[in-house]
Chain A
Amino acid sequence: MRETYYETLQERVYEETLPNGLRVFVLEKPGFRQTYACFTTRYGSIDNDFTVPGGEGVRHVPDGIAHFLEHKMFEEEHGDVFNDFARQGAQTNAFTTFDSTTYLFSSTSRVLDNLTTLVDFVQRPYFTDENVEKEKGIIAQEIRMYDDNAFWQVFKGLLRGLYGEHPLSVDIAGTVDSIMQISKDDLYDCYNTFYHPGNMVLFVVGPLDAKTIMEHVRKNQEGKGYEPRREIIRTLPEVQRCPASSRVEMHLALSQPRTLFGFKDDQVPNEPLLRQRHEAAMEIALDGLFSRGSDLYYALIDEGLADAGFSASYELTPLYGHTMMGGNSNQPEALSERVREALVAAAQAGLDRGVFERTRKKAVGRFLSLLDSPQGLANVYTQQILRGLDVLTTLELLRNLSLDDVNAALRAHVQPDQFSVSIVWPKVDGSEPT
């Protein structure tokens, strides 16, 4: 069991890789009531083409299958896993992203029992023709719910603009048509390929003893007889250098247009630590330029281009990097143009030193809030570990970040051909209460 102590944070993380390849992390939070655990596989909505271990040739599965599989894991031969957790006073849930699937619980009692339930149900698939069919109606309604959601649609629109036909811009839940094609055998193929312990991470945080937790998980895994992990071969198309489209539009029943726009990085550093530094630098740049304390934020509002919900964020993963900026706007084109120009100007002139110092201090203080949410902490830590990064080193990184780092990141990110805009317009005559 390896131990890492973060002195300023006064937090300690214990880590162990079990013989079957499962990585287990424990963070003790003595003052808290709850234990939160998440069990995550590095498998998400983009993994639609792969080679089944021991199989031949590339297998292609329908869009939305990782998310469908996540739903179906909750059904076992003896019944519903929700009830197993309820019997032990815990609440459970799961979520799928483009590159991961996470199962979780939080509870204030019977922690070891709940941990066993979590690990066991995820390691025990039970799919039948009937239970697969039954799920289709439920997930179809989940998709319909998102069809009406302007926040989601404008986000999807920008992904489509930035990534075109790449799996990154396919909806995580798939489409009503694609999920109808999913069969029991598809699910087993995906499960057998991506749910090996060697492809997974377990993170547990709460008022607990790390040794006890490790021992418990070790014993649980010993009895399961996993074969050594075989390499997972994913067939993922290259992410194109430039956006597929500079503009994507659609219409929904809305009172006001909604827009998101951003630049796409033309290359992504392979080295995780470089990515971490670049991401932190970009976040400082955006915060300094567009947060409530910036010169521009209230100017955009006072000029009628944005409302208080205007925001700007940056994300960098091993696959892609992009900014996403925007919100509600009566003049979405003018807003995106104004913000794009501000970024181009900032990339040329560099960020003001005073703004940089203030924003860096702000980032240091705000980072601490992550430690107050067991759930947020576990989720972020796990996502970053799967991408080769330790999120708890962020504080030290921020302390050492320089204005040159920020300006270099801005210059690399803001490239003229890399910009795309997504707009959801109100449907004319969209509202008609009867």
Chain B
Amino acid sequence: MNGSWHTETEALIAVHVMETDKYKMTTGLAAWHMPLSKETVTQYAILPHVLLRGTRAHPGPERLMQAFDELYGASISGGAAKQGDSQTIQFTLQCASETHLPEAKGLFGDALELFAQTLYDPFLPGGVFAEKAVSTEKTLHRQRIENAMNDKIAYAGDRCVQLMFAEDPFGIPRNGYVEAVGQVDSASLYNAYREMTGSQTLHVYLVGPLPAKETARMILDTFLHAAQAQGLASAEDSAQTAPLTHPFRSTRRSEPAELVVERLDVTQGKLNFGISTGVAYADDAYPALLVYNGILGGFPHSKLFVNVREKASLAYYASSRLEGLKGAMFVQSGIEIDKMDRARDIILEQLEAIASGNITDDELDFTKDGLTNQYLLSDDQPMTGAMLQMYGRLSGRDRSVDELLRGILSVTRADVIDVARGVKPEIVYFLRDREEVRHA
């Protein structure tokens, strides 16, 4: 694997560094996890965008971005994501390594300082975030929420999640609610920011050609220094651990999944399934769930691709994906609107086929090899290890890539059938055209 982390912790900051000379860029990731809640999701989704609008040293977004640009195009990005039952407020840093730019001495230290200041030393005229920054970001955020419908594939996927998890934090939309945007103001957003930085640990990951131990200490000092300027990140005694994700528990018995049809002016229908699996990331059976999902719809050799696309020519894409932390699986396909019944039947037949043990040797072997290849490929991306650590914190079970690979190799046909028997479709979602268009 890529290498191991060296960790240094103080106050509410934990720094993890992995030393490698594999990449030409040095990559950083910093994240807070907040519990997902309807009341706070919207403000925390706006927060990272406001933080990118300026620091005490570089008030104003263009000045901050110019400062990054000066450092040979060091780049920062930020946003909020949904991971299990938590909302992750995260920032990434990318910076060219000095090894290849002899003219750029001290580049990393400077970029790191800007990165830390963006998170902990924001521009605060009058003690709170700048009015103008907040009001502009509110407008943009309202549009961001409304624009979710513009990408029909993603929209159908989101709707399926929201319907299946209507009573669960995971059903809360990633960007929050349009109605709640208006309630956010400079003072309330700043209070939310203080609440977050004073209660949750910021985890900072860094991967690059830098000595792990010294660099971790240097990063920690840089972040502590930035945080002290505003008296942040110091309330160690009020520290809260990241919220543990509760896997989805189905309450359905044998009744068929609920069918939900929604209409937009589209030419292609999107048929999605929300499925509970009864197995989640922390469970011993998780590798078997990975294999199950792979046989069903993770690859071009999978049952969905072969039967919905190759045999029936019904779709261009037909696949399944896992939401491991929640123990959920989703099927997605784009089909001709009139062929919905047939596509649904074929998809259900594939679920039944696996449950009744209809799994060929090729399907099992190809899937295990394919998953192994995917995990090894992911090792060529600097932040894979960081993502796994996050999953560990959010699920309560740490798993290394090696452990996952061993688990996958030892999965048997019987293990897959066991998983298949606990699988239950909860929602069948169909996005289709508007009625009047069809009668025109």
Whole-angstrom distance between the Cβ of A149 and the nearest chain B Cβ: 7
Question: Of residues 66 to 101 in B, which have CB atoms within 8 Å of A's CB atoms?
Answer: 66, 68-75, 94-97, 99-101
Whole-angstrom distance between the Cβ of B29 and the nearest chain A Cβ: 15
B362 contacts A83, CB within 8 Å? yes
Residue of B nearest to A252 (CB): B265
Question: Of residues 130 to 154 in B, which have CB atoms within 8 Å of A's CB atoms?
Answer: 132, 136, 139-140, 143-144, 146-147, 149-153
- Stretch in A28-36, A95-103, A213-221, A232-240 with 4+ CB within 8 Å of B: A28-36
Q: Select one of A109, A291, A432 contacting B264, CB under 8 A.
A: A432
Contacts of A412 in B (CB 8 A): none
- Stretch in B19-27, B245-253, B348-356, B392-400 with 4+ CB within 8 Å of A: B19-27
Answer whether residue B370 sits at the interface, using C-beta atoms and an 8 A cutoff: yes
Answer whether residue B380 sits at the interface, using C-beta atoms and an 8 A cutoff: yes
B268 contacts A144, CB within 8 Å? yes
A368 contacts B136, CB within 8 Å? no
Answer whether residue B262 sits at the interface, using C-beta atoms and an 8 A cutoff: yes
Residue of B nearest to A357 (CB): B70
Contacts of B100 in A (CB 8 A): 8-10, 368
Given contacts A90-B373, A108-B373, A141-B315, contact A292 B62 (CB under 8 A): yes
Residue of B nearest to A135 (CB): B313
Q: Select one of A86, A134, A293, A431 contacting B69, CB under 8 A.
A: A293
Q: How long is the Cα–Cα vector from A431 to B433 in the complex, in angstroms?
A: 10
B373 contacts A141, CB within 8 Å? no
Residue of B nearest to A90 (CB): B373
Whole-angstrom distance between the Cβ of B302 and the nearest chain A Cβ: 10
Q: How long is the Cα–Cα vector from A415 to B153 in the complex, in angstroms?
A: 39
A138 contacts B309, CB within 8 Å? yes
Whole-angstrom distance between the Cβ of B384 and the nearest chain A Cβ: 11
- Stretch in A50-58, A182-190, A302-310, A337-345 with 4+ CB within 8 Å of B: A302-310
A108 contacts B376, CB within 8 Å? yes
Q: How long is the Cα–Cα vector from A361 to B71 in the complex, in angstroms?
A: 8
B143 contacts A80, CB within 8 Å? no
B369 contacts A89, CB within 8 Å? yes
Q: How long is the Cα–Cα vector from A32 to B22 in the complex, in angstroms?
A: 7
Q: Select one of B49, B71, B267 contacting A147, CB under 8 A.
A: B267
A83 contacts B366, CB within 8 Å? yes
B373 contacts A107, CB within 8 Å? yes
Question: Of residues 325 to 367 in B, which have CB atoms within 8 Å of A's CB atoms?
Answer: 334-336, 362, 365-366
Q: Select one of B94, B136, B299, B334 contacting A302, CB under 8 A.
A: B136
Q: Select one of A31, A252, A295, A362 contacting B22, CB under 8 A.
A: A31
Given contacts A33-B376, A256-B143, A302-B136, contact A365 B73 (CB under 8 A): yes
Whole-angstrom distance between the Cβ of A129 and the nearest chain B Cβ: 15
A-side interface residues, number (CB < 8 Å): 75
Q: How long is the Cα–Cα vector from A362 to B335 in the complex, in angstroms?
A: 44
A34 contacts B136, CB within 8 Å? no
Given contacts A254-B150, A256-B150, A372-B24, contact A358 B70 (CB under 8 A): yes
B69 contacts A32, CB within 8 Å? no
Q: How long is the Cα–Cα vector from A31 to B310 in the complex, in angstroms?
A: 38
Question: Of residues 67 to 91 in A, which have CB atoms within 8 Å of B's CB atoms?
Answer: 80, 82-83, 86-91
Q: Select one of A109, A298, A366, A374 contacting B73, CB under 8 A.
A: A366
Answer whether residue A139 sits at the interface, using C-beta atoms and an 8 A cutoff: yes
Secondary structure dominating the interface of B = mixed
Q: Which of B25, B70, B95 has the most CB of A within 10 A?
A: B25
Answer whether residue B259 sits at the interface, using C-beta atoms and an 8 A cutoff: no
B25 contacts A108, CB within 8 Å? no
Q: How long is the Cα–Cα vector from A148 to B24 in the complex, in angstroms?
A: 39
Contacts of A270 in B (CB 8 A): none
Residue of A nearest to B300 (CB): A82
Whole-angstrom distance between the Cβ of A108 and the nearest chain B Cβ: 4
Whole-angstrom distance between the Cβ of B234 and the nearest chain A Cβ: 31
Q: How long is the Cα–Cα vector from A95 to B179 in the complex, in angstroms?
A: 42
A361 contacts B72, CB within 8 Å? yes
Whole-angstrom distance between the Cβ of A110 and the nearest chain B Cβ: 10
A368 contacts B373, CB within 8 Å? no
Contacts of A34 in B (CB 8 A): 376-377, 380
Q: How long is the Cα–Cα vector from A108 to B96 in the complex, in angstroms?
A: 27
Residue of A nearest to B309 (CB): A138
Q: Which of B99, B149, B261, B380 has the most CB of A within 10 A?
A: B380
- Over the window 265-294 of chain A, the binary record of Cβ atoms lying under 8 Å from chain B Cβ atoms (1 yes, 0 no) is 000000000000000000000000001111
Contacts of B74 in A (CB 8 A): 365
Q: How long is the Cα–Cα vector from A36 to B313 in the complex, in angstroms?
A: 30
Contacts of A137 in B (CB 8 A): 313-314
B263 contacts A434, CB within 8 Å? yes
Answer whether residue B174 sits at the interface, using C-beta atoms and an 8 A cutoff: no
Residue of B nearest to A139 (CB): B316
Whole-angstrom distance between the Cβ of A355 and the nearest chain B Cβ: 9
Whole-angstrom distance between the Cβ of B94 and the nearest chain A Cβ: 7
Contacts of A8 in B (CB 8 A): 100
Answer whether residue A319 sits at the interface, using C-beta atoms and an 8 A cutoff: no
Q: Which of B150, B261, B266 has the most CB of A within 10 A?
A: B150
Residue of A nearest to B20 (CB): A31
Q: How long is the Cα–Cα vector from A33 to B299 in the complex, in angstroms?
A: 20
Whole-angstrom distance between the Cβ of A71 and the nearest chain B Cβ: 10
Q: Select one of A253, A256, A295, A363 contacting B147, CB under 8 A.
A: A256
Q: How long is the Cα–Cα vector from A307 to B145 in the complex, in angstroms?
A: 13
- Over the window 156-175 of chain A, the binary record of Cβ atoms lying under 8 Å from chain B Cβ atoms (1 yes, 0 no) is 00000000000000000000
Answer whether residue A369 sits at the interface, using C-beta atoms and an 8 A cutoff: yes
Contacts of B369 in A (CB 8 A): 86-89
Answer whether residue A255 sits at the interface, using C-beta atoms and an 8 A cutoff: yes
Q: Select one of A80, A145, A253, A293 contacting B62, CB under 8 A.
A: A293
B373 contacts A307, CB within 8 Å? no
Whole-angstrom distance between the Cβ of B34 and the nearest chain A Cβ: 22
Answer whether residue A430 sits at the interface, using C-beta atoms and an 8 A cutoff: yes
Q: Select one of A107, A149, A293, A308 contacting B68, CB under 8 A.
A: A293
A86 contacts B146, CB within 8 Å? no
A86 contacts B66, CB within 8 Å? no
* Top-3 shortest CB links A-B: A365-B72, A137-B313, A362-B73
Interface residues of chain A, those whose CB is within 8 Å of chain B, are 8-10, 31-34, 80, 82-83, 86-92, 106-109, 134-142, 144-145, 147-151, 252-256, 258, 291-295, 297-298, 301-302, 304, 307-308, 328, 358-359, 361-366, 368-369, 371-372, 374, 427, 430-434
A-B contact pairs, 23 of them (CB 8 A): A9-B24, A32-B22, A34-B376, A86-B369, A87-B362, A90-B373, A107-B373, A108-B376, A141-B334, A145-B317, A148-B268, A255-B150, A256-B150, A292-B62, A293-B66, A298-B61, A328-B143, A358-B66, A364-B101, A365-B104, A366-B96, A369-B94, A430-B264
Given contacts A86-B366, A368-B24, A434-B261, 6 further A-B pairs with CB under 8 A are A138-B316, A293-B65, A307-B143, A364-B72, A369-B25, A372-B382
